Amino acid sequence: MYKAIFIDLDGTLLRKDHTVGELTKSAIRRVMSKGVPVILVSARPLDAIIPVGRMVGTMDYPIASLNGGYIVSGEKILFKSNIDLPTTAAITQEIKSITPTIIYYVDRVWFSESNNKWVEHEQKILDVQISIQPFKEIAAYLTEHQTGPNKILIMNEPTPIQAAEQLAKSLYPALNIYTSQPTNLEVMNTDASKSRAVQLLIKEFGMDRSEIIAIGDNYNDKEMIAFAGKGIAMGNAPQEVKDAADYITDTNNADGVGKALNHFFG
pLDDT at 207: 97
CA distances (Å), 238 to each of 44, 89, 260, in order? 20, 32, 18
Q: Across the chain, what does the average pLDDT equal?
A: 96
83 by DSSP, 3-state: which?
A: coil
Parallel/antiparallel/unpaired status of strands 38-41 and 4-7: parallel
Q: Would you give the distance in Å from CA 145 to the centre of its chain?
A: 24
Q: Where are the domains of the chain?
A: 4-80+192-265, 85-188
**8 tagged catalytic:** yes
228 by DSSP, 3-state: which?
A: coil
- Mean pLDDT, residues 39-64: 96
- Mean pLDDT, residues 176-205: 94
- Mean pLDDT, residues 13-37: 97
pTM recorded for the entire structure: 0.93
pLDDT band of residue 128 (cuts 50, 70, 90) is: confident
Q: Give me the percent of the chain exceeding a pLDDT of 90.
A: 94
Q: Is the pLDDT of residue 6 over 90?
A: yes
In whole angstroms, give the CA distance from residue 125 to residue 39. Answer: 19
pLDDT band of residue 254 (cuts 50, 70, 90) is: very high
Closest CA to 150 of 75, 207, 227, 72: 72
pLDDT at 68: 96
CATH topology of domain 85-188: 3.30.1240
Parallel/antiparallel/unpaired status of strands 212-216 and 4-7: parallel
Point out the catalytic residue in the list 8, 10, 217, 255. Answer: 8
DSSP E strands, the chain: 4-7, 38-41, 63-65, 70-73, 76-80, 102-106, 109-112, 131-132, 151-155, 176-181, 184-188, 212-216, 230-233, 247-248
Q: Which long-range contacts (C-beta less than 8 Å, at least 24 apart) are formed by 110-115?
A: 110/45, 111/138, 111/141, 113/138
Report CA torsion sign: 89, 93, 95, 101: positive
Q: Specify whether the CB–CB gap between 32 and 262 falls below 8 A.
A: no
Which overall architecture, per CATH, does domain 4-80+192-265 show? 3-Layer(aba) Sandwich (3.40)
* pLDDT tens string 66-79: 999 999 999 999 99
* pLDDT tens string 82-118: 999 999 999 999 999 899 999 999 999 999 999 999 9
In whole angstroms, give the CA distance from residue 179 to residue 161. Answer: 8
